[in-house]
Amino acid sequence: MFFKKIKLDESIEKVLEKREQKLVKKLLKKEIASLIRVTYNTTIIESFSIFQLKLKQNEQTQVYQNKINEINAKLRQSVFEEKFKSFSESALSKISSAIAPQISGYDAIKKAVALQLVSKQPIHLLLIGDPGTGKTDIARSASELAPISAYGLGSGTSSAGLVVTVKGNEVIPGLLPMANDGLCVIDELNLMRKEDYAGLYNAMEKGFVTYDKGGKHFKFDARVKILATANPTHDEFKSASIEAIKKQIPFEPALLSRFHFVFIIKKPSIKRFMEITEHVIEKKTKAITAADKFFIKEYIRWIQKNLPQEPHFTEANKRRIVDFVKHLKLNEKQFVTKITPRFVVGLVRLCGASALIENRKEVTKDDVERVKNLVNECLKIQT
């Protein structure tokens, strides 16, 4: 391990108390070494993990570990909050662009997933598409950005595995409880057996799961947001017509209706395929680093901790949503999925998440218009 030696001009107490700037050099890991300026009102720092600090007085070295931890916490909170406030102005575009950046297009899906990540209320999304369309990449990427997440394959997840894992006499929370208050990703949901859906139903509707073994009853919290992927029946959509696509959706209404939004993804046209090819060859997208993922996770945590669960809706914006739902209901035959009360709940929650993601407590007209555009795209067939 490498360290950078540093000099402390004054005692820690004075550094914290005095208004004027003091240069504080510290023993830091080499890879995060930086110069920190501490002032009374603001703190500027480029890296955060203060590892150890020693102060030499009267030829004796004293270690102030508690004070170091206190300083570190204040530095971290102050700097992150400033960065978060700046980031919030364009948070939706930045977070959505961090979702499967190697996959070109699907902006509406990525934005819906970004809002799902930030939402403090459950929003359940289902991506049904042809193989090779990138839906698994989107789902896996989302699980890497969520502060709390669990990832499982439909083909390898039984009802017991969703709810619990049993090792001998020990009952351990399964996939759904592991994702409590977070995101649960289920890839290839169509490969899960129908008899294993019960735990999923409970989590999506009630926020908990149960398991009985040896006369004992177990109950685990599972307040989750589900992001699932699936292939159509016969693996690939055979036609672009609405009726043909409906026949190839591999789920019964009981499960399908529990998702707020369903995205249908077909293989790209030749024109779209060439755009994707150019995107890959030109490498137009920057790679998302571990630091980027960490920052996004911290931002989501900060939003969920500091903002209300349900942002405020004005009467005017409530009316905009009602009018939009009425329009959709009148044109329901044009869509693959039905416009249900659960769909409306999801619509309202997306509007709330649109405000939250930009660090706002009130839903604006722009939020409603943004979500209307996303929902219109959701109801279309993605290519």
Q: Assign residue 299 the CATH number of its domain.
A: 3.40.50.300
CB of 319 within 8 A of CB of 81? no
Torsion angle of the four alpha carbons 24, 29, 34, 38, in this order, in degrees rounded to the nearest 10: -30
Total domains present in the chain: 2
* Domain co-membership, 58 together with 179: no
Q: Is residue 84 part of a domain?
A: no
How far is C-alpha 194 from the chain's CA centre? Answer: 27
* Domain co-membership, 50 together with 98: no
Q: Is residue 78 part of a domain?
A: no
pLDDT, position 215:
78
| 0.85 surpassed by pTM | no
Q: Is residue 204 part of a domain?
A: yes
pLDDT, position 14:
54
pLDDT, position 285:
61
Q: Which domain holds residue 30?
A: 3-65
pLDDT, position 181:
96
* Domain co-membership, 212 together with 292: yes
Q: Is residue 264 part of a domain?
A: yes
Other C-beta atoms lying within 10 Å of the C-beta of residue 346: 25
* Domain co-membership, 55 together with 98: no
Tokens of 118: 């930030």
pLDDT, position 49:
45
* Domain co-membership, 195 together with 57: no
* Domain co-membership, 271 together with 344: yes
Q: Is residue 228 part of a domain?
A: yes
* Domain co-membership, 45 together with 100: no
Q: Is residue 60 part of a domain?
A: yes
Q: Is residue 239 part of a domain?
A: yes
Q: Calculate the alpha carbon distances from 239 to 16, 267, 379, 383 in Å.
A: 68, 11, 16, 13
pLDDT, position 43:
35
- Distance (Å, whole) CA 319 – CA 313: 10
Kindly give the parts of the chain with pLDDT less than 50. Answer: 1-10, 12-13, 15-63
How far is C-alpha 301 from the chain's CA centre? Answer: 10
pLDDT, position 273:
72
* Domain co-membership, 34 together with 110: no
* Domain co-membership, 21 together with 161: no
Q: Is residue 317 part of a domain?
A: yes
